[in-house]
């Protein structure tokens, strides 16, 4: 059984994408576009509101308690290597 990964940092990007950093140090790009069709995520269609995403409680959250399960972020993100 794999351990549940936690989100330590998130950077909202254009086109409803999130650059997330996991507690392993790995990074991934998560596309929120498919989720925007659901009523619970309708506020996120506003790009200004979408940009308010932050890392809290080990996942990505927005001001009105919208969040994304950390396991979805881990499983569905495209892992990337970023040079510093």
Residue 1 counted as domain residue? no
Q: Which residue matches tokens 């932050």?
A: 54
Mean pLDDT of the chain: 93
pLDDT digits (tens, 9 = 90+) for 14-41: 999 999 999 999 999 999 999 999 999 9
Look up the CATH number of the domain holding residue 53: 3.30.2020.10
pTM across the whole model: 0.90
Residue 2 has pLDDT above 80, yes or no: no
Mean pLDDT of 59-81: 95
Helix (H) or strand (E) holding 27: strand 27-31
Angle at 75 between CA 26 and CA 52, to 5 degrees: 70
Residues of the domain holding 68:
7-80
Q: What is the Cα 16 distance to its own chain's centre? A: 10
57-70: buried (b, 16+ CB within 10 Å) or exposed (e) per residue? Answer: ebbbbbeeebbbeb
Q: How many other β-carbons are positioned within 10 Å of the β-carbon of residue 20?
A: 26
Q: What pLDDT score was predicted for residue 4?
A: 83
Split into its structural domains, the chain has a count of: 1
């Amino acid at each position: 059984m794999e351990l549940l990964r936690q989100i330590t940092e998130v950077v909202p990007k254009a086109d409803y994408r999130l650059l997330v950093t996991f507690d392993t140090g790995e990074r991934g790009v998560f596309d929120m576009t498919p989720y925007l069709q659901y009523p619970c995520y309708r506020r996120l269609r506003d790009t200004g509101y979408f940009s308010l995403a932050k890392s809290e409680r080990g996942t990505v959250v927005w001001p009105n308690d919208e969040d994304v399960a950390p396991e979805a972020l881990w499983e569905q993100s495209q892992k990337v290597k970023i040079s510093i």
